[in-house]
Amino acid sequence: MNLTVAYHGGTRYDITSGRHRVVTDQPEEDGGHNAGMSPVELFVGSVAGCVGYFVGQFCARHDISREGLAVDAEWEMAEGPHRVGTMVLAIRLPHRLTPEMKERLLKVAHGCTVHQSLSGAPAVTIQLNPHTTGVHS
């Protein structure tokens, strides 16, 4: 699996994966043009989107309507190093669930792939020009 991030001027970077493109930028107060979500917003949105998908699949399996399903996300930054320090995801499902179904739904939500990737931090390797040789590498 792969994707590419390319510079498009200022603080804008576009992420391309197959036929899909996502624009990232910084807010105006941080020197950007606010042309898209910041990478941090995209990161938090990725977790919330994954939780929403998993909850939606749970609902579909149990004949619970997905109408009105939403996931609200709030986060706070932390320092040392600068990062997202806390994230709170609130699942809004306008249907009553039994305590047992609520517990099962929350278990499924915690099992989302992106959340699990954070729980067992992936190994990240950063390389400069890994496929080129020459003086400027």
> Residue 60 corresponds to which tokens in the numbers above?
């579909």
Question: Model-level pTM?
Answer: 0.90
Side by side, the strands of the sheet bearing 20-24 are: 4-7, 13-17, 20-24
The verdict on whether omega for the bond into residue 94 sits within 30 degrees of 0, i.e. cis, is no
- Non-local (6+) Cβ contacts of 106 within 8 A are 91
Q: What is the CATH number of the domain that holds 45?
A: 3.30.300.20
44 is a domain residue: yes
What is the predicted pLDDT for the residue at 133? 58
> Residue 136 corresponds to which tokens in the numbers above?
């400027």
Q: What is the pLDDT of residues 58-68, one digit of tens each?
A: 999 999 999 99
Q: What is the pLDDT of residues 39-95, one digit of tens each?
A: 999 999 999 999 999 999 999 999 999 999 999 999 999 999 999 999 999 999 998
Tokens 């517990």 belong to: 103
124 is a domain residue: no
Judged against a pLDDT cut of 50, whether residue 32 lies above it is answered with yes
**Averaged over 11-34, what is the pLDDT?**
97
Judged against a pLDDT cut of 70, whether residue 135 lies above it is answered with no
Helix (H, G, I), strand (E, B) or coil at 87: strand
60 shares its domain with 25: no
The domain of 29 spans: 1-36
Domain tally, the chain: 2
61 shares its domain with 108: yes
